[in-house]
Amino acid sequence: MVEVDGVTARAADGTVLLDDVSFSLRRGWLVAVVGPTGAGKTSLANVLSGMAGLEHGTIHLDGVDLATADADTRRRIAYVPQDDVLHAQLDLRRTLGYAASLRSHRGTLGAGRVDAVLDELGLQGCAHLPISVLSGGQRKRANVAVELVADPEVLVLDEPTAGLDPGFEKSVFATLRQLADRGRTIVVVTHSVRALPACDRVLFLAPGGRVAFFGPPAEAVRYFAQSDPADVFLALHDQPGRTWQERFRSHPAYARYVDGTRTAATDRDATVHRIRRPAATHRQPGRIGQLNTLLRRHLDLMLADRRNLTMLALAGPLLGLLLWAVLAPGGLRPPGFTWRLGPPPPDPRTVAMFLAVSATWLGAANAIREIVKDRRIVRREHRAGMSLGVYLTSKFLTIAAITASQVVLLTLIASSRQNPPATGAVLGSATAEIAVIAGLAAVAAVALGLLLSALVGTPEKAMTSLPFILVTQLVFAAPWSAITTTPGLRQLRALTGAHWGAQAIQATVTGDTAAWWTATLALLALTAGALAITHTLLHRRNRPPQHHHTPTTTARCRRDRETPTRPLRPAWALGATALVLLSGVGTVVTAAERSAGDEPTGNALIAPAVSTAAMPPSTIPAPALTAPSAPAPVPSAPAPPVPSEAESPIDAVTAPPPSAATTPVESVVSDLLALPPALPTTPPIDVVPTPLDPAAVVPVITPAPPPPPTAVAAPAPAWSIVDWWILLAAANADSWSGN
């Protein structure tokens, strides 16, 4: 038996939704809740089912106060929302099978229970059809069937006939009548008056959430003095709701149908419950069982959507082919690599940026709608006992696995002609290491997409936020020095997965183990932090309602052990650990950069040295010429190659810092020549503009040994291209004039 005593509820803005509502329901009754729009019918359904809290009053189920009851007791009251909260891609039998698995331990509600529900609701003939092709009446009954698999005692339905024609409406009420005759209490919120004669009791609510009448439908017609039940709606608007409430309480029908029902039926219904339905609830499955069910259901949903599955399978290879065609070869060349002919290879930082941003785009796009599109289903299943942490884990594992496979294909195709080094910084193969890093960047983007999906309210808003994510990741992953000099941008860059993915790929190319581990730990920290915040948001949006009792109520509200009202503390601990780890990574990186003596300028790479042995003949430095009369020719510095219009520039060359004895021009020239600035030279002589006699000179080739590779950490001088060409010409003139 259900007893509602003095229930009052308010909205968040203080509006009264229900005002001192009292009535009692027996087992086997079909009760209709009717009234004009805004009278509080849906609010009453939410309060009865535990979807909304109370300000005053109590609700008892077989003598147990629902405000202090455990989760199993509250689940004896099932709630069927107005909308069809079902996965449209699945067929009806699998939908009910997954619902039973989430509501029972180790399949105690198995195929036998599903078949019994299908037979009970007359849905056996359409059990193999997808939900999307069912008729309106069949979908309404399927919506009821999802709750019936757990065999509840009380079923509360909100507008089950909304949008149905009179034929389907009659069919739905006939089904509900059969469910009530089998021993359940059925409460139906409806605007229809055609089905009232089939109900045992009818509850009329006046504006303001006040009870205008409760009793048999035939008695209601006499009470309101209306021949047509539809005219009662007009009569309820003629007078204030408080007037109707006071009139009903002073009428003999109140003592007969409210107080009398409560007094006569409490003990009898409790006895019937103990004898006829000793196992109204079932043991909930464990977290491992729920995770297994949710993973299988998510996989079935993906396989059922053939078009989306095709797009998922083609996205990775197509993006990989696009990068393969756009990027010039040799972009991931190791330090010391030199090329001979053709267009210059792209900067390794550019290739790393494109790989990281592409992986981020795939991860965010795959996850951005996953939670928001299941918002109502999550709320319904969480009330039935599903763990929100398990739900989030199933979503993350499924999407992360799919995205990682996409990114691996993308990376293998795009890097196939980028000449990565043979070995990486940590793993054996550099190609495998780059694929792993791109996969981690994609997984971090999946966590970010799930976070945004939990923040927004509709799938459309989620898709609107996707371009913002992509542009932000692209901006902070690009090797731009302005990011490190603008206040606040460096801190924001540390929160972008594409930046750390690009850094890790660059560390693989250069063999920097410390930088590789720093970027990898940062990606893991971002993933853990995003998942922790998402878990917290899910709990806040699906928290059970707070019940506030009057001082006369002895029982106090306590939190449910299985569904706490505040987010779980492990989620906060996980998020805090991730933030601390990320802060530590940033501190280590900053300290390392400062210890190098210069502020960072972006994504610095090791510049390879120029080897004359690997140069084409046209780029070998010109030989120094000495006159035969000289007793001992002194070798002068070899002239650096001057690139012609047909030749491509060579990688940057590093040199030791100039000594204090050199002039600024000599220092810059020495940097360009990669030689010590204090190298002794012979006194300059005038160069005769006439051609030299080949027989009078002896060429002496003195190639300089290549300097070891040195990390370039200082920013490039702010010289224009004209200044560089002037310095190169001066260097050549000094070299020839020294002979």
Report yes or no on 94 lying in a domain.
Answer: no
Two structure tokens written together for 18:
């229900």
Q: For 453-487, what is each residue's pLDDT tens digit?
A: 999 888 888 898 888 888 888 888 877 656 767 77
Residue 717 has what pLDDT? 41
pLDDT at 205 over 70: yes
- Give kind and range of the element (H or E) at residue 58: strand 56-61
Q: Are residues 409 and 528 in the same domain?
A: yes
Q: Is 160 in a helix, a strand, or coil?
A: coil
Q: Are residues 494 and 639 in the same domain?
A: no
Cα dist from 711 to 91, 511, 516, 719, whole Å? 61, 12, 16, 21
Report yes or no on 319 lying in a domain.
Answer: yes
Q: Are residues 209 and 259 in the same domain?
A: yes
Q: What CATH number does the domain containing 19 carry? A: 3.40.50
Q: Are residues 529 and 648 in the same domain?
A: no
C-beta of residue 609 within 8 angstroms of C-beta of residue 707: yes
| Average pLDDT estimate for 376-383 | 90
| Average pLDDT estimate for 20-43 | 90
Residue 686, exposed/middle/buried by CB under 10 A (0-12, 13-18, 19+)? exposed
CA distance 283 to 70: 13
Residue 736, exposed/middle/buried by CB under 10 A (0-12, 13-18, 19+)? middle
CA distance 84 to 97: 17
CA distance 421 to 332: 7
C-beta of residue 679 within 8 angstroms of C-beta of residue 731: no
Report yes or no on 187 lying in a domain.
Answer: no
**For helices 375-383 and 513-541, what crossing angle results, to 10°?**
70
Residue 649 has what pLDDT? 41
The mean pLDDT of the chain is: 74
Q: Are residues 258 and 321 in the same domain?
A: no
Phi, psi values for residue 3, rounded to 5°: -120, 120
Q: Kindly indicate the confidence band of residue 488, based on its pLDDT and cuts at 50, 70 and 90.
A: confident
Ramachandran quadrant class, 20 (left: phi over 0; alpha: psi -120 to 50; beta: rest): left
Residue 624 pairs in a beta bridge with 700
Report yes or no on 221 lying in a domain.
Answer: yes
User: Which residues are CB-neighbours of 523 under 8 A, at least 6 positions away?
Assistant: 437, 440, 441, 443, 444, 497, 500, 501, 504
C-beta of residue 503 within 8 angstroms of C-beta of residue 519: yes
Q: For 82-101, what is each residue's pLDDT tens digit?
A: 888 899 899 999 999 999 88
Sign of the Cα torsion 371, 373, 379, 385 reads negative
- Specify the higher pLDDT residue, 235 or 402: 402
C-beta of residue 97 within 8 angstroms of C-beta of residue 105: no
Share of the chain above pLDDT 90, in %: 22
C-beta of residue 210 within 8 angstroms of C-beta of residue 245: yes
Q: For 496-510, what is each residue's pLDDT tens digit?
A: 888 899 888 888 888
Two structure tokens written together for 614:
């690997």
Q: Are residues 322 and 229 in the same domain?
A: no
Q: Are residues 496 and 591 in the same domain?
A: yes
pLDDT at 572 over 50: no
Q: Are residues 270 and 406 in the same domain?
A: no
Report yes or no on 463 lying in a domain.
Answer: yes
Q: For 657-703, what is each residue's pLDDT tens digit?
A: 444 444 444 443 344 344 444 444 445 444 444 554 555 444 444 55
Report yes or no on 124 lying in a domain.
Answer: no
Q: Give the residue numbers spanning the domain of 364.
A: 312-332+348-543+565-595
CA distance 17 to 445: 42
Quick one: the chain helix, strand, coil %, rounded to 5? 50, 10, 40
C-beta of residue 78 within 8 angstroms of C-beta of residue 156: yes
Q: Are residues 519 and 627 in the same domain?
A: no
Q: Are residues 466 and 580 in the same domain?
A: yes
Report yes or no on 660 lying in a domain.
Answer: yes
Report yes or no on 168 lying in a domain.
Answer: no
**How many Cβ atoms are within 10 Å of 660's Cβ, its own excluded?**
8
CA distance 163 to 82: 10
Closest-CA residue to 448 (of 540, 541, 367, 535): 367
Q: Are residues 532 and 666 in the same domain?
A: no
| Average pLDDT estimate for 584-599 | 47
pLDDT at 161 over 60: yes
Phi, psi values for residue 155, rounded to 5°: -120, 120
Two structure tokens written together for 32:
């209709």
Q: Kindly indicate the confidence band of residue 385, based on its pLDDT and cuts at 50, 70 and 90.
A: confident
**How many Cβ atoms are within 10 Å of 693's Cβ, its own excluded?**
7
Q: Are residues 472 and 389 in the same domain?
A: yes
Residue 513 has what pLDDT? 87
Most confident of 311-315, 639-643, 716-720: 311-315
Number of domains in the chain: 3
